[in-house]
Amino acid sequence: MNKCSITDKIVHYRVFNKTPPLYHEKTEHSTFKSYQETARVLVVPHLGTMSKGNVTLKNVTKYFGDTVAVNDVSLDIRGGEFFSLLGPSGCGKTTTLRMIGGFDRPTSGAILINDIAIGSTPPYQLDVNTVFQNYALFPHKTVSQNIGFGLEMKNVPKREIGLQVDEFLELVRLPGYGNRKPGELSGGEMQRVALARALINHPSILLLDEPLAALDLKLRKQMQSELKELQREVGITFVYVTHDQGEAFALSDRIAIMNEGVVCQVGSAAEIYDEPLSRFVADFTGTSNFFDGKLVAVEGDRARVQLRNSAEVEFFGRNSKDLKEGETVTMAVRPELICMATETTEDSLNWIKGTIRNKIYLGTGTQYTVEAFGEMSVVIHQQNSGGGKGNHWQIGDSVYLTWRTEDAKVLKIDQSIC
């Protein structure tokens, strides 16, 4: 081993500490006594040891003039989870994200990051980084310069910046792209560069504002998979904004459904899809058939609903705790939980006879629209099996629709936001 290789020794310690600063040097006495010198060691943080930040919102409200953008929102986002804010345009999800990032201030309420109220702390002093929808890359800088920009602003030595940039290029699957300019990259590649630039600063929380919205469908699906894998690898908290229900379901550990500035429900994808707390949530998170009527009886956890405008027709579904007999309710049934047959069985509690009016082939499945009672349209989704089997129904066929009591959720009908 020659003298130069000892002097230039570089060690990647798998440690990370925000204090002391990101970069520091130490001396290490060489075991090669004949050289009688010290080796300089660069201490480089490793991405696998990033800290996991938590976020708490306490009764947060935000006004823009007389408009309420966010209304009394309280949330607890756990350290290390992938948490999504999901809702239609204008629901307040991006405003909520911007307040967490310090770009906007709440009109009232408090936001805590790692159990410390952020108050009026500017964004650059928070342990948070943001990936924007438009990437916000410097067009005149190379990929490496874009990724290393944050470290450069912290006066990290160039040598260490180069080491970390190379590591994060590997992380986002762009090795060898360092000398390219943003104009030479595809949309997916630019998104990876933006992610690397945000992560290289080792935040405990990463905010993502609809980062995949500009990508085509196939690339968006690919990036969803890569993004979730990346989050698992770095282990930090991701807070993600989207209006795409499928995207939120694919990525998230938990989801907050928002509408008109209010959080309607928080839970896992399965909890929200299978156990919606309101008609809005059931409708926004996927297709549902709604059968409106009057709650005529409650039998334990089962509710009996008399269909509106059809006094002889009654359905059975799962009862919600706060429902009372005589209330106007709706019964929500997902299309994939409804069966079609040429006849019904005697033990079928829920059934309708109707006529197929539309049929749409969707590749993995076929969607049917069945008309019943002359005015009701019911949507059914059937999985396609090999050889085209299971897809033999034709427009004009008379069919019976049936579903299980446990697959029907009885919900209140009201005019509230959620």
Domains of the chain with bracketed CATH:
3-45 (no CATH), 55-274 (3.40.50.300), 287-412 (2.40.50.140)
This prediction has a pTM of 0.83
Q: Residue 301 carries which DSSP code?
A: T
| CA–CA distance, 250 with 228 (Å, rounded to integer) | 9
Q: What pLDDT was estimated at residue 348?
A: 81
Scanning 238-362, the segments in alpha helix (DSSP H) are 245-251, 269-274, 279-284
Buried b (16+ CB within 10 A) or exposed e, 305-330: bbbbeeeebbbbbbbbeebeeebebb
Short-list 194, 83, 198, 91, CA closest to 133 = 194
Q: Which residues contact 169 (CB under 8 A, 6 or more apart)?
A: 143, 144, 147, 175, 176, 177, 178, 196
pLDDT of the chain along its 418 residues, tens only?
A: 333 332 233 333 333 333 333 433 333 333 333 333 333 333 344 455 567 889 999 999 999 999 999 999 999 999 999 999 999 999 999 999 999 999 999 999 999 999 999 998 999 899 999 998 888 899 999 999 999 998 998 899 999 999 999 999 998 889 999 999 999 998 889 988 999 999 998 999 999 999 888 788 888 888 898 899 989 988 999 999 999 999 999 999 999 999 999 999 999 999 999 999 999 999 999 999 999 999 999 888 889 999 987 767 889 999 877 788 889 999 999 999 999 998 877 678 899 999 999 999 998 899 999 999 888 899 999 998 765 555 689 999 999 999 999 999 999 887 678 8
Q: What pLDDT was estimated at residue 43?
A: 39
Q: Which residues contact 153 (CB under 8 A, 6 or more apart)?
A: none
Are 408 and 414 a contacting pair, CB within 8 Å?
no
Short-list 2, 389, 351, 9, CA closest to 163 = 9
Q: What pLDDT was estimated at residue 373?
A: 85
Q: What pLDDT was estimated at residue 39?
A: 32
Q: What pLDDT was estimated at residue 368?
A: 96
Q: What pLDDT was estimated at residue 66?
A: 94
Give tens-digit pLDDT for 202-242. 999 999 999 888 788 888 888 898 899 989 988 999 999 99
Q: What percent of the chain has pLDDT over 70?
A: 86
Are 204 and 50 a contacting pair, CB within 8 Å?
yes
Q: What pLDDT was estimated at residue 415?
A: 64
**Angle 217-234/158-171 helices, nearest 10 degrees?**
120
**E strand map for 157-301:** 205-209, 237-242, 254-259, 262-267, 289-299
Token readout for 232 is 């698992």
| CA–CA distance, 132 with 228 (Å, rounded to integer) | 17
Judging by DSSP bridges, how do beta strands 205-209 and 128-131 pair with one another?
parallel
Identify the three-state secondary structure at position 87: coil
